[in-house]
Amino acid sequence: MGVTEVGVVLDLNERPILWHLPEDRTLTSLPDSPDLWQFIWDNRDRISGIAHSHPWYGDATPSHEDVTTFAAIERALGKRLRWWVVTFDRIMTVNWFGPGDLDYGCIAYGSNPEWVAEIREKSKWNLTKQD
């Protein structure tokens, strides 16, 4: 498998508790997954957020698909999460700011949590070249 998006669920200490590596992940998508939802629900009291990679260099802004997924999961859980988008050279944290259901704001994250290197590795950053 080549370069792909990868997901990871983070606990209350922002450490990985599930690597989300579905067989049908692609360069530009992680497919809908009942198993991922079941894990989130079963562990809802110890989850702080979910990260996924955008496996390229540059912009780490979430897509419309991403934001609508953030909102749906938060409505189901009844609580807000911290969402992370990681590219090969940037990290963005995304939180709901309101008032609208899809009013999420992005903040560039300045440091590198330990799991960031691993999500880049699992996304196969080494198969890419930066010009």
Partner 1 sequence: MESHEARLNITWSGQNGDLVDPIAYDAPDKDILQWATEAIRTGGVPGITADLNANLTDFVVDRFAATADVPMNRIVLRPKTPFGL
Chain contacts with partner 1 (rule: CB under 8 A) = 5, 7, 26, 28-34, 36-37, 40-41, 44, 52, 63, 65-66, 68-69, 71-73, 75-79, 101
Q: In angstroms, what is the minimal distance from the CB of 121 to partner 1?
A: 18
Closer CB to partner 1, 5 or 125, in the complex:
5
Closer CB to partner 1, 54 or 110, in the complex:
54
Q: Classify 120 as helix, strand or coil.
A: helix
Tokens at 60, concatenated: 């780490």
Closer CB to partner 1, 80 or 110, in the complex:
80
Q: Count the neighbouring beta carbons within 10 Å of the beta carbon of residue 3.
A: 18
Q: What are phi and psi of 79, to 5 degrees?
A: -155, 160
Question: Is-contact 14 112, C-beta < 8 A?
Answer: no
Tokens at 83, concatenated: 């969402």
Q: In angstroms, what is the minimal distance from the CB of 60 to partner 1?
A: 13
Q: In angstroms, what is the minimal distance from the CB of 125 to partner 1?
A: 17
DSSP label at 48?
E
